[in-house]
A and B are shown apart, each in its own frame.
Chain A
Amino acid sequence: MAVARQQDVGYDYVSDQAAASQWLSSLTPTPLPPPLTVESINPKVIKCEYAVRGAIAIRAQVLQQQLIADPGSLPFDEVVQCNIGNPQGLNQKPITYFREVVSLCDHPDLLGKPQVHELFSADAIRRAHRIIDCLTGRSTGAYSDSQGVKACREDVAAGISARDGFPASPDDIFLTDGASPGVHMVMQLLLRSEKDGILCPIPQYPLYSASIALHGGTLVPYYLDEESQWGLEITELKQQLHTARSAGINVRALVVINPGNPTGQVLSEENQRRVLQFVRDEGLILLADEVYQENIYEAGKKFHSFKKVSRAMGIGEKDLALISYHSISKGYYGECGRRGGYMEVTGFSKEVREQMLKLASVNLCSNVSGQILMSLVMKPPKAGEESYENFIKERDGILSSLARRAKVLTEGMNKLEGVTCNKAEGAMYVFPRLRFPEKVLKVAAAAKVAPDLFYTQRLLEATGIVMVPGSGFRQVPGTWHVRCTILPSEDKLPGVISRLSTFHQKFMDEFRD
C-alpha cells in the first residue's frame, strides 16, 4: 500500500539509508533496535484497516495526478470519487445561513462595518452576535470548555428536545471534531484487552473495526439480513452474544448505525424497542450512530432516535447507558471538512463522566467553528426569520435530490447482470450484491485479492469511478458487494451509471463461465 512519493528533492531513501546504516554500525558495534519500521511499529496500528481511504482511494489519487499531468492518457476524463461520503467534494453547496454565521463568528470585525448588512442576512448577523457573546474571549480562536462552548451545547440540547419530545441536558453533550473522536474515546474507555468485545453490525462502517483494533479489543459481529432489506434480528444478536461469551469475551457494548452505513436501512420503532430490550436484558451499553438521521428517502420511513424510543418505553437513565452520535458531515449540510459532531451521554455514573471529561481535556477542545456549526444544525432558522425561506429551499432541494439519486442509482444497479441492490432507505450509499462467475474468483485468488476488490480495481482503471469493495465493510462470507455513494451530481449521475454498465457488461463477458 505504498504512497506515491515525490522525489523532487533528489532524495533516494534506500541509498541514503544504506550509507547511514554503514556509518551507524561503525559507531556502535553492539546491535541496537532498528529504526521505526513496520516490524517495530505498534502492531495495533498495523492491524487496523480503513478501506474507505485504502488501496483503491490511493490508486485513484495517482490516476487523478496522471490526468492532470497528461490529459487523454487514460480511458476516462475524470476520476469520480464514489468511495467517500463527501457531499461538498462532489459539488453540493453549503447552506448559506450556516456559512454566513460562521463567517461572521470567525471575523467579528465585519459586524462593526455598515456594509455588513448588504452582504449578510439580518438573522445571521443576530445569531453571530449571540454566539460571539458566549465564546471564551469572544473569539473562535480561544480554547473553549473541553466539552464544548456552553451556549452551543445548550442549542444542541434544545434541538434534541425539540426533535424527540424528551428533555436533553447540555451537560450530557460533548462537542467533538466530527463524530469519530467520540467513538474513539468510548473504545478507549471500554477496551482493556482483546477479551473485551463490541457487537458491531456486519456490514459496518469501518471506523468501528479500525477503532476496536487500535484499542486492542475484539469486534463481535452480528449479521444484518440482506434478504429482508438489511434487517436487524434480535435472534442474531442473541446468538452472536452467546457465542462470544462462550469464547470468554466480555461483550461490553452494542453498536447500531441508524440509518445504516453502508446498508442504508432505517429501523422501525418496533425493531428499536426490541434492541433496547435486548440491551437492557444483557447489560450492554448502546452506542447509537445516528449521523444520517436527516437522510431519509423512503416514503413511510421516519427517523426515531434511540433516546426517544427508550424514553417513550419508560426506560430512563437508571436503566440504560446510551451514547448517541451525530455529525455535521452528512444530512443536507454535508460539512465534512469542518469536523463537527457531538455525543450525547446518558445513563453513566458521575465517576465515568469525570473520566470522559478528563479524556476530552487532554486534547483541550474540538475546533470552535465546528462546534458552532453543530449548534446551527440542531437549531436552524425558524419560520418568520429572514433566512428561513431560502434555508428551506436549499435544504429541501438537497434532500429531494439525494432521494432521487438514491432511487436512480439503486435502479441502475439492479439492471446489472448478477447484481441485486437493496433500496437505500437512508444515508448516502448503495450497497449492491455482486454475483461473480467462478472465473473471477479464480483470477482474484491468483492475484491474492478479494474478488470485490478485484472488481473495484478493474472498474477504476477502466472508468475512473472509485467504489469501495464490500470486504472493506465486512459481509457474509462468500458474498461480494461494493459501496457506491449517491453523491455524484444529478447531471453527472446518468453518465456514471452508463459507464458502470458498459464496464460491468464487458467484465461479465470476459469472465463468463
Chain B
Amino acid sequence: MAHKVMDPDSLNANVKKTVYAVRGELYLRASELQKEGKKIIFTNVGNPHALGQKPLTFPRQVMALCQAPFLMDDPHVGLLFPSDAIARAKKYLAMNTGGVGAYSDSRGVPGVRQEVADFILERDGHPSDPETIFLTDGASKGVQQVLNALIRNEKDGILVPIPQYPLYSATITLLGGTLVPYYLSEEANWGLDVTELRKSIIAARRKGITVRGLVFINPGNPTGQCLSETNLRDLIELCIKERLVLMADEVYQQNIYQDERPFISAKKVLMDMGRPTSSALELISFHSVSKGFVGECGQRGGYFEMTNFHPQTVDELYKVASISLSPNVNGQILMGLMVKPPRPGDVSYPLYAAESQAILKSLRARAHIMTDGFNDCQNIVCNFTEGAMYSFPQVKLPKAAISAAQKAGKTPDVFYCLRLLEATGISTVPGSGFGQKDGTFHIRTTILPAEKDMPKIMESFKKFNEDFMRQFADSNTITSRL
C-alpha cells in the first residue's frame, strides 16, 4: 500500500484540533523521564490514590463483597467484613438483577438513583426525581453527552470560564462547536462577574454565534474559588434571561477549605428562588466519585441531574445512553455509597468518619502549605485554594525567559514547566492548558502529594524557581503583568 488510508491528513479535523493538556505535552515528557528512571511527582491530574491517599474502608468492603457474592455464603465472612458492609452489599446485589456483572438500566440502577435523589433532598432541602438522574462512567461522560445534545454545528457556542478544566474545551472542539470564554478575575480571588459574562455573550452573538449553554465549575478547577449564593443567583437570572442551559460542574463540592463560603448547590439556589423562576431554567448538575475524600478516580462513577428538562429531551439523552448499554455497575454502587455513607450508630461509622475527616483536614492543611509556599516566592502570586484540589499560582516570567521559550518554540509557561520537570521531577500542567489572560502565565499543580512530603516538594520548587529567575534575570525588573 503506497498511501495510508488513515493518513493524519484525512483524520477528522476536529480531532486534530483537540487539546487536553492535563495529559498532554508535560505528562508525556514526564512519562518518558519516568521510563528512564527519574523519580517523578505527578501533580498534573487530580488523582488522589496515585499520591498515596488510601481508599475509605467501608466502600471497598462493600465493593469487594458485591464482586464476590459467594463470600457471603462462607461462615468466615464475618471475620473479615463488618455486618453493615455485608447488609449493604446484599442490598445492592438485590437492586440489579444479576449483580455487578449484568448490564443495569442504561440510566443506572434505579435503587442507586433513588439514593442519589435522597442525598440531593437532604443536601438541598428540595425534592429530586430519580427519573431525571443519570449515572455515568465518571462525570466526564455525562458532560460529553449533554454537550453532544447541545452542539449542532460551529455556530453553537458554550460559555466556559477561563481558566477552565480542559474537558470542556476539548469536548466542544471535538463536537465542532464554539467555546465562548468568560474570564474569571484573578485579582478578585478568581471571582465571577456577571458583567463580564454579558460582555462575552454580546461579543459572541455579534459574531453570529448562538450561545446555548453556560458552564461553571464550583468549586473551580483549576482556580479553586467557591461561589457565593449571590454569584449563583446572578448566574441563574442571566441564564433565564438569555435562555441558556446552565451546566453546574460540582464534582468538588466536598472539597471546601474555608468556612466563609460553604458549598451551596445551584439546584438549591434555583429552588429557593421559588416559582416561576425555579421552573424557568434548564439546569444540569454534575457530580463524581473521583474527588471529595473518597477520590475513586479509577472506578469511573458519576451522575448528572436534569432540572426543568423537556421530557422528550430526557428521552433522547436516555437513547444515547442506551447505545453504550450501561455505566459500570461497580462505579454506580460506589456512587451510592458516597451519597449514602454510614450514619452515626452504624458499626462502620466511627472508622468512616475518622478516615474522611482526616483526609479533609489534611487537604485543607496542604492547601495552605502550598499557597503560602508559592506566595513566598517573589515572582509568584497565588490565590488561596478555597476548594477543589489544585493550586494555580501566577508566575511572573522575565523577558529573557519569554524570549528563550520562543526560541525553543514553546509557550513560556510550557517552557517553565518543562524546566521544572527536568530539574525536580515535579510534573505540573502549564496554565495555557486551562486558558489564562493574555500575557499572564500560570501553572497548575495538585495539593495531593502526601502532607509529610509537601515541605520537601515546596523546597524543591522554590530552589528551582530561584535558579530559573537567576538564570533569566532582567537588567530591570520588568516581568509579565496582569
Contacts and interface: CB of A to CB of B under 8 A. Distances in A.
A189 B55 contact: no
Interface string B1-35: 10111111011110110111011100000000000
B298 A36 contact: no
B123 to A, nearest CB: 16
Contact of A91 (B98, B105, B314): B98
Given A189-B12, A355-B8, A363-B140, A118 B298 contact: no
Interface in B295-344: 295-300, 308-316, 318-320, 322-331
A441 B308 CA distance: 41
| Residue of A53, A87, A92, A214 ringed by the most chain B CB atoms within 10 A | A53
A408 interface: no
Interface string A1-17: 11111101101010011
Contacts of B64: 103-104, 106-107, 110
A445 interface: no
Interface in A5-50: 5-6, 8-9, 11, 13, 16-17, 19-20, 22-24, 27-28, 32-38, 40-43, 45-46, 48-50
A31 to B, nearest CB: 10
Interface stretch (A136-144, A292-300, A426-434): A136-144
B1 A143 contact: no
B77 to A, nearest CB: 7
B382 interface: no
Nearest to B301: A367
B97 A20 contact: no
Interface in A40-85: 40-43, 45-46, 48-50, 52-54, 57, 61, 84
B171 A285 contact: no
Contacts of B106: 53
Contacts of B242: 32
Among the interface residues B67, B309, B330, which one has the most CB atoms of the partner chain A within 10 A?
Answer: B67
B149 A41 contact: yes
Interface residues of B, number: 115
A339 B57 CA distance: 24
Contact of B18 (A110, A177, A358): A358
A23 to B, nearest CB: 4
Contact of A181 (B77, B101, B170, B324): B324
Interface in B114-148: 127-131, 137-138, 140-141, 148
B299 A141 contact: yes
B57 A367 contact: no
Interface stretch (B274-282, B365-373, B461-469): B274-282
B160 interface: no
Contacts of A90: 98
Given A337-B96, A364-B23, A28 B67 contact: no
A19 B279 contact: yes
Contact of A42 (B51, B60, B149, B241): B149
B298 A84 contact: no
Interface string A80-101: 0000101111111010100110
A318 interface: yes
Contacts of B255: none
Given A88-B101, A336-B103, A339-B327, A361 B47 contact: no
B52 interface: yes
Contacts of B354: none
A222 B459 CA distance: 65
Interface in B136-168: 137-138, 140-141, 148-152, 167
B80 A113 contact: yes
A264 interface: no
B313 A38 contact: yes
B404 to A, nearest CB: 26
Given A137-B49, A283-B3, A337-B100, A45 B149 contact: yes
B206 interface: no
A5 B295 CA distance: 33
A88 B6 contact: no
A321 B298 contact: no
A211 interface: yes
A359 interface: yes
A510 B319 CA distance: 34
The residue among A6, A211, A280, A349 with the most chain B CB atoms within 10 A of its own CB is A6
B325 A178 contact: yes
A143 B297 contact: yes
A261 interface: no
A352 interface: yes
Contacts of B8: 349, 351-352, 355
A362 B325 CA distance: 21
Interface residues of A, number: 121
A339 B241 contact: no
Contacts of B12: 188-192, 215
Contacts of B152: 40-43
A276 interface: no
A319 interface: yes
A335 B276 CA distance: 47
A180 B324 contact: yes
B6 A42 contact: no
Given A337-B98, A367-B328, A41 B313 contact: yes
B104 A19 contact: no
B480 interface: no
A488 interface: no
B438 interface: no
A94 B101 contact: yes
B174 interface: yes
B45 A119 contact: no
Given A36-B149, A99-B67, A136-B47, A115 B76 contact: yes
Nearest to B322: A53
A334 B295 CA distance: 29
A367 B313 contact: no
A345 to B, nearest CB: 10
A137 B50 contact: yes
B185 to A, nearest CB: 27
A103 B71 contact: yes
B63 A89 contact: no
Nearest to B57: A109
Interface string B34-55: 0000000000010111111111
Interface string A342-379: 00000011011001001101111111111000000000
Interface string A165-197: 000000000000110110000001111100000
B307 to A, nearest CB: 10
A102 B47 CA distance: 21
A193 B54 CA distance: 47
Contact of B328 (A8, A37, A319, A339): A339
A22 B245 CA distance: 18
B212 interface: yes
B291 to A, nearest CB: 11
Given A33-B212, A142-B297, A48 B60 contact: no
B74 interface: yes
Contact of A89 (B97, B151, B170): B97
A143 B6 contact: no
B68 interface: yes
Q: Which 5 A-B pairs have the closest CB atoms?
A: A107-B64, A89-B102, A53-B322, A88-B98, A361-B23
Interface of B: 1, 3-8, 10-13, 15-16, 18-20, 22-24, 45, 47-55, 57, 60-61, 63-65, 67-68, 70-71, 74, 76-77, 79-80, 96-106, 127-131, 137-138, 140-141, 148-152, 167, 170-171, 174, 210, 212, 240-243, 245, 275-277, 279-280, 282, 294-300, 308-316, 318-320, 322-331
21 contacts: A6-B131, A9-B128, A17-B308, A36-B245, A36-B309, A61-B105, A103-B63, A115-B79, A143-B297, A210-B323, A337-B103, A337-B104, A338-B101, A338-B330, A352-B6, A352-B7, A355-B11, A358-B24, A362-B171, A362-B174, A363-B141
Given A42-B150, A99-B67, A192-B13, 5 more contacts: A35-B310, A215-B12, A358-B19, A367-B300, A370-B328
